[in-house]
Amino acid sequence: MIPIKPAGSKPAGTRSIDSAAGVAMQYLQPGALNLSALPPLSLYIHWPWCVRKCPYCDFNSHEAKGEVPEQAYLDALRRDLEMALPLIWGRKIYTVFIGGGTPSLMSAAALDRLMSDLRSLLPLDGAAEITMEANPGTFEAEKFRSYRASGINRLSIGIQSFNEQHLKALGRIHGSGEARRAVEIAQANFDNFNLDLMYALPSQTLGEARTDLETALSFKPPHLSLYHLTMEPNTVFAKYPPQLPDDDTSADMQDLIAEMTAAAGYGHYEVSAYAQPGHQARHNLNYWQFGDYLGIGAGAHSKLSFPHRVLRQARYKQPRSYMEQVAAGNPVQEEHEIGRGDMGFEFMLNALRLQDGFAPNLFAERTGLAMNVIEKQLQAAEAKGLLYLDHQVIRPTELGHRFLNDLQQMFLG
């Protein structure tokens, strides 16, 4: 964390205030926050292209039709980052996540250039976690060795299933054999990697879910992300819903996951995340702990804290529009400050996803507000048996985890 400089100095990303009267006015602004320290800062980089759009996917991804403008996009990323530097000046980057789309479509030379640009422009922490998303249909052993040499030290592999039939239903471009081969390549080149699996898939049985998880666990991945398939708006699946397992079967799958991961030594630390000791995803943890992140690339989002405000930004979504807007000097399409009235909900929306909850002082540290602004909601949630509270921790109960959406909504407004 970065301690905030005393009034009258020039904190990163804020305008200098020359007069004592100006400093006083800043502190007396109605609705101003008062952050005692800035949270850890992460960097997210979005690669918007993929081979084929999956029918369940609502991410900002676009099918690569013809040659991807790799160099032009890298130029835009560098320029975007250069323009954003005044907002984060002097702050160290602790984690980097390259997501998509399918970033593993990038050539080895392109990834090497991107990493070189990051190092030349940013103070990367010496032990920074640098993750890249990769899909099995794009795995080439030599390319992934080059990725590792360029500085990627963690992979997140979108397996989704090892079952051939389910992969076809999900619209994945890889088969079961390619999925296994991808994990083997990851094992050979990376000490740290994550496997993404989905469950409650179209027509999936409990036995098939068990086999998928057994296969994943057999590779002993340091980290597992296990997602319940949901019908997101504006997707093919939302328009043409497939036949999904009923609620009872889905609940049985969740129970099975809890039993099998615990037996294999994985800690369940976030709603969908399971890790071997010491391998929690530091980038994602920073999100759930309401840390800061700068997002560059098409459609990327940012959350940036300053002594008396917290800012959200969103870049232009369409790759071509994004590159044009970067060239024009304006990649940010939307920008707003998080209001005091929304801050408690935004914090709790993230922090309540953590299985072990959070220390009460984290709320004031990350929001600049006293805990009493959400005291009524905390007491109401505790009275309903959804939340456990003491002076050391605030965390959802087992019932609270089961009805997490209801618990989070109690802090709205």
Rounded Cα distance between 104 and 411, Å, is 39
Task: Give Cα separations from 181 to 114, 143, 161 (angstroms).
Answer: 26, 14, 13
Rounded Cα distance between 95 and 92, Å, is 9
What is this structure's pTM? 0.89
Rounded Cα distance between 380 and 279, Å, is 35
Query: 235-244 long-range CB contacts below 8 Å, 24 or more apart?
Result: 235/55, 235/56, 235/57, 235/58, 236/55, 236/56, 236/171, 237/55, 237/56, 240/55, 242/169, 242/202, 242/203, 243/202, 243/203, 244/200, 244/201, 244/202
What residues contact 324, with CB distance under 8 A and at least 6 apart?
none
Residue 14 resides in a domain? no
pLDDT > 90: percent of the chain = 76
Which H or E run contains 22? helix 20-28
Domain count, the chain: 2
Residue 312 resides in a domain? no
Residue 62 resides in a domain? yes
Residue 92 resides in a domain? yes
The answer, yes or no, to whether residue 258 has pLDDT greater than 90, is yes
Domain that holds residue 135: 41-286
Residue 310 resides in a domain? no
User: Per mean pLDDT, which range of 31-45, 46-60, 87-101, 167-181 is the poorest?
Assistant: 46-60
Domain termination residue (choose one: 269, 286, 303): 286
Do 267 and 156 belong to one domain? yes
pLDDT tens per residue, range 370-397:
999 999 999 999 999 999 999 999 999 9
Residue 96 resides in a domain? yes
Rounded Cα distance between 156 and 41, Å, is 20
- DSSP assignment letter at 235: S
| Residue 239, domain CATH | 3.20.20.70
Residue 212 resides in a domain? yes
Do 264 and 382 belong to one domain? no
Domain termination residue (choose one: 286, 305, 328): 286
Do 73 and 207 belong to one domain? yes
Do 244 and 153 belong to one domain? yes
Cβ pair 279, 26 in contact under 8 A: no
Do 59 and 128 belong to one domain? yes
Domain termination residue (choose one: 222, 256, 286): 286
In angstroms, the first-to-last Cα distance of the chain is 29
Do 221 and 369 belong to one domain? no
Do 204 and 67 belong to one domain? yes
Task: Give Cα separations from 28 to 22, 25, 32, 305, 333 (angstroms).
Answer: 10, 5, 8, 18, 30
Of residues 172, 173, 176, 174, the one with CA closest to residue 162 = 176
Do 269 and 381 belong to one domain? no
Do 263 and 366 belong to one domain? no
Rounded Cα distance between 279 and 213, Å, is 19
pLDDT > 70: percent of the chain = 91
Cβ pair 402, 389 in contact under 8 A: no
Mean pLDDT of 92-118: 96
pLDDT of residue 172: 79
Give the relative orientation of helices 141-150 and 176-189 as an angle to the nearest 10 degrees: 40
| Residue 364, domain CATH | 1.10.10.920
Do 95 and 199 belong to one domain? yes
Mean pLDDT of the chain: 89
Cβ pair 294, 44 in contact under 8 A: yes
Do 163 and 272 belong to one domain? yes
pLDDT of residue 134: 93
Residue 214 resides in a domain? yes
309-315 and 332-337 as β-strands: parallel, antiparallel, unpaired? antiparallel
Do 153 and 254 belong to one domain? yes
